[in-house]
Amino acid sequence: EISEMSERSKQNVAHGLAWSYYIGYLKIVLPRVKMSMEEFSRANPNLVACRKTWKLHILVPLSCDVYDDLEKADSNIQYVTDLTETTLARAGIKKRIYKPSLYAIRDEEEQLWHCAVEYATPLQTLYAMSQDECAAFSREERLEQAKLFYRSLEEILKSSKECADAYQLIAYEEPEEAETHFLSREIVWHLRQEHHEEIAVLEESHPHTPSTTLDSAELNLQISVSDLPQPLRTDGF
């Protein structure tokens, strides 16, 4: 009965996507990010000096509008190189390759910030479902699922020892009117916060927060524990 209720409300969609993303990708990539960034930094000592930025920055647009090419999303974002790849045999694929990409982000002062950044790919699934009649996903349901995906992924990663301090989730709502360099500003804001942590600089009493950047409290959907997807068995097996 609980499973059927979750199916009808579609609450298990985002929760399942978050777990799949974690198990099938992040749990493999994140533990290796710092080592890959360190290797790149040794080869390019003037580019990525701030260790606090040695993590994978995961973009979570609540619109689920994901670009396949970040350079087309914002011209201030430029591809630099791929980090050290990880090759594993997965589900019958002999040599599956995992390799995050490093980008240079140009800020309003023409300074370059280097970081590994990519979209949360399951958002493409949520967007596609909202465009498919078979899924019967409305725009409002898609937004709710995007928020639930973020909250679920955040909780999963917080509990993961392997992935600790190796990621930065960046959830945001895009402005109604298109802004050419909106995305690069969002990323740079987070990089600056990480840089401040690295050099232990005291911030202002009221630090600026982009109006579109969202935190966990704002993404609270007021979903009770009983509403979330539950195991089919409750007898401990």
Q: What is the mean pLDDT of residues 157-182?
A: 92
Helix or strand (DSSP H, E) at 170: strand 167-172
The answer to whether residue 235 sits within a structural domain is no
Count of the separate structural domains present in the chain: 1
At residue 217, the pLDDT reads: 56
Taking 70 as the threshold, does the pLDDT of residue 219 lie above it? no
Digit-coded pLDDT (tens) for 111-161: 999 999 999 999 999 998 888 776 667 888 889 999 999 999 999 999 999
Q: How far apart are CA 83 and CA 37, in angstroms?
A: 7
Cα–Cα distances in angstroms (integers) from residue 186 to residues 1, 62, 125, 148, in the given order? 42, 14, 23, 21
- The CATH number of whichever domain residue 140 belongs to comes to 3.40.50.12100
Residue 231 has pLDDT above 60, yes or no: no
- The per-residue pLDDT for 158 is 96
pTM of the model: 0.80
Q: Is residue 162 part of a domain?
A: yes
**For residue 237, is it within any domain?**
no
Q: Taking 50 as the threshold, does the pLDDT of residue 90 lie above it?
A: yes
pLDDT at 6 over 50: no
Instruction: Please check whether residue 232 lies inside any domain of the structure.
Output: no
Average confidence score pLDDT of the chain: 82
- Most confident among 20-34, 40-54, 206-220 (mean pLDDT): 20-34
Q: Could you list the residue range(s) of the whole structural domain that residue 123 is in?
A: 7-205
Q: How many CB atoms lie within 10 A of CB 172?
A: 20
Return d(Cα 22, Cα 117) in angstroms, integer: 16
In a domain, 1, yes or no: no
How far apart, in whole angstroms, are the C-alpha atoms of residue 167 and residue 170? 10
Strand order from edge to edge, sheet including 112-119: 77-82, 101-106, 112-119, 56-61, 167-172
Question: Which token pair is 125?
Answer: 């699934």
In a domain, 106, yes or no: yes
- On whether residue 73 sits in a domain, the answer given is yes
219 assigned to some structural domain: no
Give the pLDDT score at 105.
96
Are residues 15 and 148 in contact, defined by beta-carbon separation less than 8 angstroms? Answer: yes
Q: How far is CA 196 from the centre of its chain?
A: 21
